[in-house]
Amino acid sequence: MWGGATAANQYEGGYDEGGRGLSTQDVRTAGSRTRKRTVTYLDGEGNLKEATRFEPMGPGAKGIIVPGRYYPGHQAVDFYHHYKEDIALFAEMGFRCFRMSVSWTRLFPKGTETEVNEDGIRFYTAVFEELKKYNIEPLVTLNHFDLPLYLANERNGWCDRETADLFTRFAETCFVRFRGLVRYWITFNEINCMLDWNKLGIRTDDPQEFHQALYHVFLASAQSVICGHRIDSGNMIGMMAAYGAMYPLDCDPDTYFNHLQCMHNMQWYCDVQCRGAYPAYKQKELERNGIVIRKQEGDEKILKDGTVDFIGFSYYFSVVSRAGVNVSMTGDQSHAVDNPYLKKNEWGWQIDPVGLRSVLNELYDRYQLPLWIVENGYGSIDTPEYDSEGNITAIHDPYRIAYLKAHIAEMKKAVELDGVDLIGYTPWGCIDLISAGTGEMKKRYGFIYVDMDDEGKGSLKRYRKDSFAWYQKVIASNGEEL
Ligand code: BGP
């Protein structure tokens, strides 16, 4: 299934339209390569503060919108008002599927309501029907880094078990109301990084609370899978992790063992969701650190019964580990060890197509579940060409074509030579959208250029880049013509 991927908080906009409530992503400011995005909030004493996604906010913090500040997610690139035009462009490229997320607060503005917001249902139904018109299958992420701000500010975010149940109600509503329109689902985007993306969702750096919150996310995912299968046994429900290739720096046995542990740090999320229980190495680690997860009777069965049908993962780069250093797949690679065999993009991400083949093998060997590369791509600054009247006439993006070509070639080898069951490929940001990491617009991934800058200014007009026609050919030839 060839297609492309997006997420509501970076693409949809219309943040205060159609009865939508605020989410934790709506209080994230814009940043850049050198200046980190922040969350604006009032601390326990009511003082206005800002924190990056790596800084704790302390108890009592409440995310707020500061008048006059620019929050890139509010308008994003306005899929809310452009969906017909965008979907027509996806269809023109020949998409068989389209990955998008449903904004939780468009359906449940505070997260606690018992009745769904019908305006939200109407919007997504119209989108899914539009996709159907072109025979494009939606792949719907139920949670892509967003949480109702109300649950973060007034409750205890993911630290409360109730959040898992409220999420399950939201998921159930999607399964019921979009039945027949959507068959492919993902519960949580990049589950191995999601709690780092917005500290408002947990507001603590205490490892005990962090693991308790994460446990609630796993429960929410498993409960949703069970519910989705009950509502329609034809539903294919997957998990999603940020998964890159990892190499040990050298053959020092300590480096290698550290490498295994770094791999475990990434893999255990997949173990829980694919095998239905915390792996032994994780249980031991929690025990060693004195972390005791509060559970209820029946939880074990929920995790066991709620395993996923496929593994979705994002693949952008690879990392190198060395003894004593814990490396991970976070977008901030400023402290990473350089791999002398690879080149980096402007944001320091090491480009590694062969690593994708390795990862496909690794995941398939380990779980024997169908795989779906739900994100992959080259974030870069594009420079449009203009005519004398200032109209955009072309966007040449050979670097993007080269990146995708190399990755698809390795993907083909994994399928044809290694026998990996790969069911889909949806490159990230198939249309330019807001960067999750930096909030910038200039870090572009799309086949479609959107005329908007880092301050949200621009006509929002869509233009085909060179990669648009190239990808169209790739899809038409089922990957034969690269
Ligand atoms: C992943 C996220 C996406 C996306 C992508 C690219 O972590 O799932 O939401 O944005 O990375 O990252 P960035 O936008 O920071 O370039």
Q: What are phi and psi of 427, to 5 degrees?
A: -55, 145
**Contact residues for 140 (Cβ-Cβ < 8 A; gap 6+):** 99, 100, 101, 102, 174, 178, 182, 184, 185, 186
Give the C-alpha separation, 103 to 76, whole Å: 13
* Alpha-carbon distances, residue 129 vs 41, 132, 180, 453 (angstroms): 38, 5, 10, 31
Give 178 Cα–ligand 1 centroid separation in angstroms. 26
Residue 49 resides in a domain? no
Which of 190, 297, 389, 410 is catalytic? The answer is 190
DSSP state of 387: -
Q: Which ranges in 276-390 belong to alpha helices (H)?
A: 280-288, 299-305, 353-367
Rounded (10°) CA dihedral 468, 472, 478, 479: -30
- State CA 400 to chain mean position distance: 20
Helix (H) or strand (E) holding 63: strand 62-63
Per-residue CA distances from 26 to 41, 299, 466 (Å): 11, 33, 33
21 C-beta closer than 6 A to ligand 1: no
Closest CA to 53 of 202, 172, 181: 202
Residue 142 · residue 101 · CB < 8 Å: yes
Distance CA 443, CA 41 (A): 26
CA distances from 354 to 39, 163, 411 (A): 37, 40, 9
Q: Tokens standing for 247?
A: 């190499």
Residue 172 lies in a domain: yes
Token pair recorded at residue 173: 């509503």
Q: How many angstroms separate the alpha carbon of residue 170 from the centre of ligand 1?
A: 24
Ligand 1 mean position to 376 CA, how many Å? 9
Query: Can you tell me which atom of ligand 1 is nearest the CA of 242?
Result: 7
> Is any ligand 1 atom within 6 A of the Cβ of residue 363?
no
Q: Say if 430 falls within a structural domain.
A: yes
Residue type, 294: R
Q: Is the shortest distance between the CB of 189 and ligand 1 below 6 Å? A: yes
Q: Is 377 in the pocket of ligand 1 (CB under 6 A)?
A: no
Backbone angles phi, psi at 185, to 5 degrees: -135, 155
Residue 166 sits in which domain range?
Answer: 3-16+72-476
Query: 375 an active-site residue?
Result: yes
The whole-angstrom separation of Cα 371 and Cα 399 is 26
Pocket of ligand 1 contains residue 428 by CB under 6 Å? yes
pLDDT of residue 323: 83
Going by the DSSP 8-state scheme, the letter that residue 25 receives in this structure is G
The Cα 438–Cα 29 span in angstroms is 9
Nearest CA to ligand 1 atom 11: 436
Determine which helix (DSSP H) or strand (DSSP E) holds 256, and give its type and residue range.
Answer: helix 253-275
Distance 290 CA to ligand 1 centre (A): 33
Q: Decide whether any atom of ligand 1 lies within 6 Å of the 31 Cβ.
A: no
The CA distance from 478 to 413, in Å, is 14
CA of 253 to the centre of ligand 1 (A): 33
Does the CB atom of residue 11 touch ligand 1 within 6 A?
A: no
Looking at residue 380, the DSSP 8-state letter turns out to be B
Can you give the pLDDT at residue 60?
87
pLDDT tens sequence for the chain (482 residues) = 999 999 999 999 999 999 999 999 999 999 988 898 999 999 989 999 999 887 878 888 999 999 999 999 999 999 999 999 999 999 999 999 999 999 999 999 999 999 999 999 999 999 999 999 999 999 999 999 999 999 999 999 999 999 999 999 999 999 999 999 999 999 999 999 988 766 777 767 789 999 999 999 999 999 999 999 999 999 999 999 999 999 999 999 999 999 999 999 999 999 999 999 999 999 999 999 999 999 999 999 999 999 999 999 999 999 998 888 778 777 666 667 889 999 988 888 899 999 999 999 999 999 999 999 999 999 999 999 999 999 999 999 999 999 999 999 999 999 999 999 999 999 999 999 999 999 999 999 999 999 999 999 999 999 999 999 999 999 999 999 99
Domain assignment of residue 42, yes or no: no
Closest by alpha carbon to 418, among 338, 462, 356, 470? 356
The SS3 assignment for 72 reads helix
Element (H, E) at 137: strand 137-143
Q: Is the CB of 87 under 6 A from ligand 1?
A: no
Residue 332 confidence (pLDDT): 65
Taking the CA of residue 193 as reference, the ligand 1 atom at the shortest distance is: 7
d(CA 263, CA 317): 15
Amino acid at 429: G
CA pair distance 426, 431, nearest whole angstrom = 12
Q: Could you identify the atom of ligand 1 that is nearest to the CA of residue 379?
A: 16
On whether residue 46 sits in a domain, the answer given is no
Nearest residue to 458 (alpha-carbon basis) of 432, 438, 437: 432
Has residue 23 been placed in a domain?
no
The answer to whether 112 and 166 are in contact (CB under 8 A) is yes
Report the nearest atom of ligand 1 relative to the CA of 331. Answer: 15
CA of residue 436 to ligand 1 center, whole Å: 5
Query: In the structure, how many helices (H) and strands (E) does the chain have?
Result: 15, 19
- Taking the CB of residue 43, how many other CB atoms lie within 10 A of it? 15
| CATH number of the domain enclosing 154 | 3.20.20.80
Residue 169 resides in a domain? yes
Rounded Cα distance, 85 and 129, in Å:
14
Between strands 343-344 and 310-315, the pairing is unpaired
Active site residue 190: yes
Q: Which two tokens stand for residue 87?
A: 């979907």
Number of domains in the chain: 1
Cα distance between residue 299 and residue 35, in whole Å: 42
Judge whether 453 lies within some domain.
Answer: yes
